[in-house]
Amino acid sequence: MRADAPEIDSWLERLPLIARDLLAGRLPEPWRWLAQSLVAIAVLLAAFGLLFALLTLAERKVLGRIQNRPGPNRVGWGGILQPFADGIKMLTKEDIVPRSADRLLHFLAPVALVSLSLLSLAVIPYGRRLLPLDLDSGVLYFFAASASSELAVFMAGWAGRNKYSLLAAMRALAQLISYELPLLLSVVPVVMIAGTLRPSEIVEAQSGWTIGILPHWHVLTPWGFAGFAIFMVAALAESNRSPFDLPEAESELIAGHLTEYSGFKYALFFMAEYFAMCALSGMAVTLFLGGWQAPFAALQFVPSYAWFAIKLLVLLLGFIWIRATLPRLRIDQLMRLAWKFLVPLALINLLTAAFWHLSAGWAMGAQPLRWGLALALVAVPFVLIGRGLSAGLGPRTYRYAAQ
Amino acid sequence: MNITLVILGTVTVVSGATALSLRNIVRSVLLLVVSWFGIAALFLWAGAEFAAFAQALVYGGAVSMVVLFAVLLTRRNHLDATVPPPPPGRLLGALIAGGAVAGIIAATVIRTPFELANDEAPSLPVRRLGTLLMGPQLAALLVAGVLLTAALLGAVVIAAGRKDDKEGAP
């Protein structure tokens, strides 16, 4: 955790650190570091564990509302205790392992998945002073930790010795290989502009406001907006969320790699999915949405971690909204979207970012030209490639359904 | 001797060797991934943070996927991933080729004069690493890139070479 001296430093801002020092401060020096790390780990696990529970509820409630039904509303007040009832149900269910399954991999897959998705939570700066692990190449660490998680999905799919599971494993691999590229390419401009791989410095690079109301977040620049959009689409695909949930596709693959899992192992997969979603959203907030920075200079009295939480929750609700809105893609559409659309756009976005970086010194009068050129660099390829991809795909005709 | 180094080295070598000797090819790949992560951990132990994460990202995240994908696509029965033991001729060829590569690498390592590091591991910020790679070391980087591209093209040529295979062209 960093301890620089920012101008806004209320007791609310320092509250988590004070609480930590109350817990760990009394220990002698060699143990204090260990205790502080353990406290950080415990807080992360508790916070994201609780967030996971509440997110499942929020997802079911929001999906219910969007589909015009109440959602879970029986356990507790308006259904608020539903996730805990589900947890107890999952824990008490029988753990079934198919006789012909690869027992070791069948057991290892959920464990590996959850631990790998937890690893990536460590480097996200949650607040001005809330940074569990400040690594010089933190962004790289994040993607190294999260990229391996699809390996666990493969293990799960393969270990079950089930055709549906194996199909899911193949789909998961194809999806990961395809979307890893746009995900990483959309991050490169941020690293180029900020000139660092350290998440906390990327957040610092987005500090400041123009006339107090326009934050200098990366998403509010042409290249940043394009990068953010590409990142979020690729993040949806990486976390196997709808509309990219082909690996688990309930309606065609009977839940894919989850087919042979039951009980708490099944729950672990969901936990990992939500952790991965939180981690990717947290990284999106850090890279593009200014991290823990307040949107207006006048709102800095609100503690930084609260801003981070608000932005994170907005992104997570966006994930849920998308799940309720978009139908699942076909595998060929998925591949085409990645290779023919997102990757070229991400590569062009590199050029846009380079232009933005080189034109930073332009005079005030040339700023409209700079914005116009950068916006054109983003919008024109988007329209052209999009038109090219959808050429020949006329409006859909319904041959068998009544008009 | 450093105990961490011994543990990491043992894990890396043992998992790599077991991967080679297993008949179940999917398990071999997964053990190979363990070995790659062991190498990443060795980098981390040596203070090369960037190299460690790059190793984990590229090998653990990407290369493992490609290998698994290739394995699954080339199996006739997807759920049966065992391979028969190789014939003696192939074993001999593999030994000769592998021995030659190992010999070249060993000779290079032995003949290269290494500056003995002091007790303190040098810490190299990523920024400086980037400037070094893009400046003085650019030629080496490009050569490595060209070599890998050539290897990739070679692999494509080898894979696409047999047109008169059974089951028809894809």
- Tokens 């290369």 locate to B63
Residue B115 lies in a domain: no
Same domain, B79 and B142: no
Tokens of A57: 């509820």
**DSSP symbol at B11:** H
Considering the domain architecture, whether residues B14 and B66 belong to the same structural domain is answered as yes
Q: Does A103 touch chain B (CB under 8 A)?
A: no
Contact B57 A143 (CB under 8 A): yes
- Answer yes or no: do A136 and B126 touch at CB < 8 A: yes
Cα–chain center distance at A319: 9
**Residue B32: which CATH number?**
1.20.120.1200
* Residue B82 in domain: yes
**Domains held by chain B: number:** 2
B71 Cβ under 8 Å from any chain A Cβ: no
Task: Give how far Cα A357 sits from Cα of A190, A201, A288, A366, Å.
Answer: 11, 17, 16, 14
Q: Do B50 and B126 meet the contact criterion of CB atoms below 8 Å apart?
A: yes
**Whether residues B72 and B23 fall in one domain:** yes
Tens digit of pLDDT at every position of chain A (403 positions): 344 444 566 777 777 777 777 777 777 777 777 877 888 888 888 888 888 888 888 888 888 888 888 888 888 788 888 888 888 888 888 887 788 777 888 888 888 888 888 888 888 888 887 788 888 888 888 888 887 777 888 888 888 777 788 888 888 888 888 888 899 899 999 888 888 888 888 888 888 778 777 888 888 888 888 999 999 999 888 887 778 877 776 667 677 777 778 778 888 888 888 888 889 999 999 988 888 888 887 777 778 888 888 999 999 999 889 888 888 888 888 888 888 889 999 999 999 888 888 888 877 888 888 888 888 888 888 888 888 888 777 777 777 776 5
A86 touches B: beta carbon within 8 Å: no
Same-domain pairing of B81 and B8? yes
Same domain? B22 vs B83: yes
Q: What is the pLDDT of residue A303?
A: 81
Of the candidates A105, A143, A197, which has its C-beta nearest B126's C-beta?
Answer: A197
Residue B54 and residue A144: Cβ atoms within 8 Å?
A: yes
Enter the pTM of the model: 0.83
Tell me: do B6 and B72 sit in the same domain.
Answer: yes
**ipTM field:** 0.77
pLDDT at residue A329, rounded to an integer: 82
- A chain contacts of residue B81, beta-carbon cutoff 8 Å: 158
* Whether the bond into A243 is cis, omega within 30 of 0: yes
Reading the block at residue B62, the tokens are 């990407």
- As a dihedral over the C-alpha atoms of residue A278, residue A279, residue A280, residue A282, rounded to 10 degrees, the angle is 80
The per-residue pLDDT for B108 is 92
* Cβ–Cβ under 8 Å, residues B78 and B22: no
Domain contains B96? no
The alpha-helical segments, DSSP class H, found in B22-136 are 25-45, 49-55, 64-74, 88-111, 126-134
Interface test with A, best of B57, B73, B131 (most A CBs within 10 A): B57
Are residue B6 and residue B83 in the same domain, yes or no?
A: yes
**Both B83 and B130 in a single domain?**
no
pLDDT at residue B46 tops 50: yes
Full domain range(s) for residue B159: 125-170
Query: Which residue from B33, B65, B81 is facing A173, i.e. has the nearest CB?
Result: B65
Record: contact B72-A144, CB cut-off 8 A: no
